[in-house]
Amino acid sequence: MSRPIILGIVGDSAAGKTTLTRGIAQVLGEENVTTICTDDYHKYDRTQRAQIGITALHPDCNHLDIMQQHLSLLRSGQPILKPNYSHKTGTFEAPTYIKPSKFVIVEGLLGYSTRVARDAYDVKVYLAPPETLRAQWKVKRDTQKRGYTEEQVLEELQKREPDSEAYIRPQRSWSDLVVSFCPSTTDSNGQLDVKLVLRPTIPHPELTRVVGEDSPTQSAIRLGLDRDMGKPVDVLEIDGHATKDQVVHLERFICDELPALSNVCNPTSDTELGKVSGTTGEMIQSYPLAMTQLLIVYHMLKATKAI
Ligand SMILES: Nc1ncnc2c1ncn2[C@@H]1O[C@H](COP(=O)(O)OP(=O)(O)OP(=O)(O)O)[C@@H](O)[C@H]1O
Ligand SMILES: O=C(CO)[C@H](O)[C@H](O)COP(=O)(O)O
């Protein structure tokens, strides 16, 4: 039996990991995907964390040894007995027996923090929205879904900042793809832009053939060269106001490179690409999201050919 393909989605709290995970699972077909959230590997419940004075972002607040063991087991196709942390109650519940499907998406705060964990992934994504947007998303989500007041969330964000800097943000350097959704600077009807940093750690589609490295700065889809954390990278930017024609052109090119993608991005079929419900229930639909999902799914399907 061939092993599952493992996608990592790492980023700070409310960076959009669960939302992106849901969207990709929808595109690949829920029946083909096992999703794991590494919040389940917290060592202490909400009350204990407050008593000890430790944040959920600190490595010592998480069973990273068990997390990495489980990732290795999943990668070799074996089942795990996963702990369960409830965000509703802030306590632990009974563990769940999990057998990996064809694809496994592992999302969470500290997924790239150990070498053994990093070795388990086929594709590593890091989510990095601007901090102001993340704070807005966290306030909304934690007040609607996790029983916090706005003041508590803002205070918690301040308390967490040193751990975010020390333990979360450095993990960006291990990712193959950095995804930053951000508010548009142009009139885009409220749609977010996306900036995708493509590291040469995995082979990306030859986008220069379709976008061109010297794309004019005013075009809605741009490709350029840059440095990220000191290393050279390609950067693909898609504005929220990109038109369907512009996006379909890029989609077709990526799909032609990998025939396995034909079901995912056939522009005439009713594709799931670019649609997802956020963790607070709102419908999110955009071309920048569609292209982000398509690139990630491209890498996951490509990885199936390599095993
Ligand atoms: N691409 C997006 N476009 C618009 N809104 C988004 C997007 N991603 C996330 N959000 C908003 O941010 C909120 C938080 O996102 P989400 O729950 O996915 O974050 P998370 O990284 O999984 O958080 P945590 O690690 O704390 O569980 C969502 O409820 C949604 O409102
Ligand atoms: O940073 C987080 C990732 O989701 C959470 O705050 C952490 O998991 C603790 O959860 P809760 O605040 O629900 O007790």
Q: Does residue 140 line the site of ligand 2, with CB under 6 A?
A: no
Query: How large is the average pLDDT for residues 21-40?
Result: 96
DSSP 77: T
Residue 2: band (very low, low, confident or very high) from pLDDT cuts 50, 70, 90: confident
- Residues 220-246 have pLDDT tens digits of 999 999 999 999 999 999 999 998 888
Query: How large is the average pLDDT for residues 258-283?
Result: 84
The mean of the pLDDT values for the chain is 94
Determine the Cα angle at 18 with ends 29 and 186, to 5°.
Answer: 100
Please enumerate in sequence order all residues whose Cβ is within 8 A of that of 128, keeping only pairs 6 or more positions apart, or say none.
11, 15, 169, 172, 178, 179, 180
| Measured distance CA(92)–CA(275) in Å, rounded | 32
- Fold observed for domain 1-126: Rossmann fold (3.40.50)
Whether 1 shows a pLDDT value over 90: the answer reads no
Whether the Cβ atoms of residue 298 and residue 261 lie closer than 8 Å to each other: yes
CA–centroid distance, 1 to ligand 1, in Å, is 35
Residue 114 CB burial class (10 angstroms; 0-12, 13-18, ≥19): middle
Domain ranges in the chain are 1-126, 176-307
| Measured distance CA(96)–CA(106) in Å, rounded | 15
Q: What is the pLDDT of residue 32?
A: 97
Nearest to 48 by CA among 10, 85, 96, 14: 85
Q: Which of 24, 141, 282 to mutate to test the pocket of ligand 1 (most atoms within 8 A of CB)?
A: 141
- Residues 71-92 have pLDDT tens digits of 999 999 999 999 999 999 999 9
Whether 187 shows a pLDDT value over 90: the answer reads no
